[in-house]
Structure 1
């Protein structure tokens, strides 16, 4: 008589398999070599300078950009290398080869820009279509222009599971949801509900979590969101005592009907809070990257 494989047994087997795979994971030699070369060539061996480096300036670069594909800061080769090194054990089988559009994982930009300020106005440097709708001061224009560079830095980029539902991914769904407005805090709040199969969980987000079941398996339990945040260096986004998201700011957009003073107050707060979150996360990421760039260490196996 053949032994019966029950659902609990399958769950246990999956957990053991994923745990073993995570334990054996290591950064790829390709990612390590690319980041080492970038720091040497572009940053004069000053890793700390990576925190403020605008990855948008890599568009068109034959090595660090996106040769042969459409450029996006959160999916360029440098971003893929950093994700491979820092987050190879955050999700099962995350690596250079599994990162990118149409692959199991893809980079995402956390605190958005265009939703709040709009696209750059052609031939008007430092001016943005959405911001100009609200009669901003020159001071706010300058702050927005600075943030337009800040939001393209490593502290604002993270990989997410990327399997899609009718071409909708976690990345695109949080960016287009009418109530979330691409805001990280409200997305994490809803992700927490979906991970726990809460009755109030968003139906589409729950389906996306199910589609990416292998990636989310370890986080589908009480405290799972806190573990998710820890894996992705998102410590500042969750409360250390409760593990629940911190509502750093509320969703907003330049096209939502509101008074100019209300918009401008929200815009200033958003820049202040997001810049702090990005810089704090970048500092943590660089601290974790530093041991991997020690040239005395043997290269990691591919």
Structure 2
């Protein structure tokens, strides 16, 4: 029996709700073995980020080589990058190991509003990592920031931005609608063959810490299990929606609490 394995390359969240911790919980909840490459340590809780300690690029590279040199990685999720040296190390690692599926979550700002990507690293993200991705998963503000445009306010504007991002070289774009308005939270999957709108009821809760991290890692888990991209995206969205709906079962922290990764189990 082949064990599906996914790798997360991301930052650590000391409060356990986002980043590496959320990714590994997601992989485990979805029946995938998880490995990790840590790009940064954060001093963080449900109310905000109070410090970031960046891992040197050469040590990011050493982690990548250690994991790929031994494990059969089915999919890679990339999250918090923090700095230019990290992007360079990851791009070189992807060149060396050529993983089949790369899901890139262009994390730029935390749920709390704290900036997680240096300004000089944004251009490198566009040119060095986006072209290597099978899927990128920006939310509405991240999509706008990547394009130096205002945040899209209409479906037509979202689709236009998705197509512009696709032109940067990735195979597909999922623009997440969680920051939008209305009764539904609609994500837009943009590929060369068209646009698919994926709607789910908007859930009234402040416990949304780590939602984006968990969605991208859930998609990577699906790809590691050999699901096609659309199936992986649909399954991941359904799972995250259920995890958000169950989030209020938890009482964790005083700010934006975590979603319930293991809602299927307890």
Q: TM-score range by the shorter chain?
A: under 0.3
Higher relative contact order (CA 8 A, sep 6+): 1
Calculate the TM-score normalised by the size of structure 2.
0.27
Considering fraction of residues, name the structure with more strand. 2
Q: Of the two, which has the highest radius of gyration?
A: 1
TM-score, normalised relative to structure 1: 0.25
